[in-house]
Structure 1
């Protein structure tokens, strides 16, 4: 043993990481709904990748509905997904421009954050902070 971390280019390590990420991602919502759809449901819910029920925090859904304009409620799919890449230590990304727009309107991300090549990179600590503020409306997925 050399005492160093496995190299991400190592095919054995990459295969192991893929299996671990797959297990972590089982809880990710597969059937994302718009905020408008969730606001209409008595119990706002969807399904995960393994067909388990995922219940949204109704107070968070209502608060988002109150703070975001109608046209965005019709386009914003929840939960908002932050993508982690094990090759990038301190950042994750969004690939949904409506999610970026919503987070900017909520003053969670400044207007300096812009999509580049279909992604906007955000510090992981910021993503975790946003996730704690809006429980069930944000998920982190490994990619």
Structure 2
């Protein structure tokens, strides 16, 4: 019968997992900018948590400008972040009302969907499809 892991083994594993998740999240944008601000920049970009430059696809930004009302363009911060929660392995959640409204206006999620408890859960296949349709303006964050 295998030995049970000791408390120190578990804490070592948890530290390693946090370190790996941190590495994965290094590519996530640290300063999310409003769509209206990104559209005004000659080279729309921001900085990642890892300190690298993150360039936005201007064509995707222009598509959002055409598809979203001006009021929402001034509120929407990009990239839109889908959060992973290991307790809900088949879904991601959004925690930004402007992001939810933008995805509804784009026809990506139903306008009948509402946030509950500050979150709106999205099935992983749908979130992956949205991330692929709008490159650079959507990111997934590991929790």
- TM-score between the two structures when normalised by the length of structure 2: 0.90
Q: Distance in 2 between matches of 1:20 and 1:50?
A: 13
Q: Deviations over 1:93-117 (max 9, x none)?
A: 0000000000000000002321100
Structure 2 CA distance, aligned partners of 1:121 and 1:69? Answer: 24
Q: 1:11 to 1:88 in 2, by over 3 A?
A: farther
SS at match of 2:39: helix
Highest CA radius of gyration, 1 or 2?
Answer: 2
Matches within 5 A, 1:91-106: 91-106=91-106
1:102-113 pair list within 5 angstroms: 102-113=102-113
Structural RMSD (CA): 1.5
* Pair 1:16 & 2:19 matched: no
Q: What is the distance in 2 between the residues matched to 1:17 and 1:92? A: 19
CA apart distance, 1:12: 4.4
Distance 2:113 2:14 in 1: 31
CA distance in 1 between counterparts of 2:14 and 2:113 reads 31
Instruction: Identify unmatched segments of 5+ residues in structure 2.
Output: 3-9
Displacement, 1:43?
A: 1.1
TM-score by length of 1: 0.90
1:3-35 deviation per Cα after TM superposition (whole angstroms, max 9, x unaligned): xxxxxxx54443332121111000000011000
Structure 1 residue 51, shift from structure 2 partner: 1.6
1:1-143 to structure 2, matched below 5 A, reads 11-143=11-143
What do the CA deviations read for 1:24-66 (whole angstroms, capped 9, x no partner)? 0000000110000001111110000122100000000000011
Tell me the matched-pair count.
136
